[in-house]
Structure 1
Amino acid sequence: MENYYNRRDSFRLLDQILWQNRESYIELCEDYFSSKIDSEKIVDDFFRLHRNHNKEAEGLPSHPERLKKIQILSRSEGFTDLIGDMFFVCENLDIEETDDNSKYALSENRFRKELNLILQKLKNYS
């Protein structure tokens, strides 16, 4: 029998996948900014921003230079698209009704397949 993820489970798994691939995002970020330490902080802030599903800078350091870099990164082609694609998968793709009437369930196979395609894109960018 197929496993299904509800939205909360999907976002939890997504969070795991993002953090597992953190180094790749940092490398991608270093194409834009010269410092690895800056890139690590920016990536972590960027993930936190997306994890909160919040386009505002709430909860992020108010250091203007870092916020400016996050904004630049947010507009950079590739980086945002990949994270955005992942969140799109979690929120919209393959929404089905399951036998127990759980709306907004995502089949595990489809979820993993979509995320694998996105992670392949990430490897191509790196």
Structure 2
Amino acid sequence: MRSNGSDLASPRYTLARGPIGAGALGWELAGDVVASHRAFCPDDFDRDAEAAMDWAEGLIGARQDWHHRLVDGVHRWEASVLPHYDVPDVQTHGAVYRMSVQTDARGAVLVAYTRDAETGAVTRSLLRIDPAGVAYIRRRLTGV
């Protein structure tokens, strides 16, 4: 999950974009793991950020919940380990009969309504998509 939230009290990792080494543009990872890497896609900020988060997660060894901040003109992502989500004991098996997308400053929320084929019970599911995810979906839909 990658979002623009500011709800992390003490991030476990920080990923910052800026000059590294001899002034080359790149990424610095700080926290339990410390590393730096040249920019992955210097001409495409969204792709560069996604690639940097993937790189950082590879070094960390686990997916992270990244929160974007702009601090003194520097793009930073702060992370904590993603919470573990258990599959509920009761699941709705059926067809999605209604779906909508709602947007806000943090990206988009996909809302799907499913009707259980046997009982007729309705379940609402939410999926938050952060701005980088929205940009990725737009690129895929437009073929860019």
What's the TM-score, normalizing by structure 2? 0.22
Higher share in strand: 2
Higher share in helix: 1
Q: Which has the higher contact order (CA 8 A, sep 6+)?
A: 1
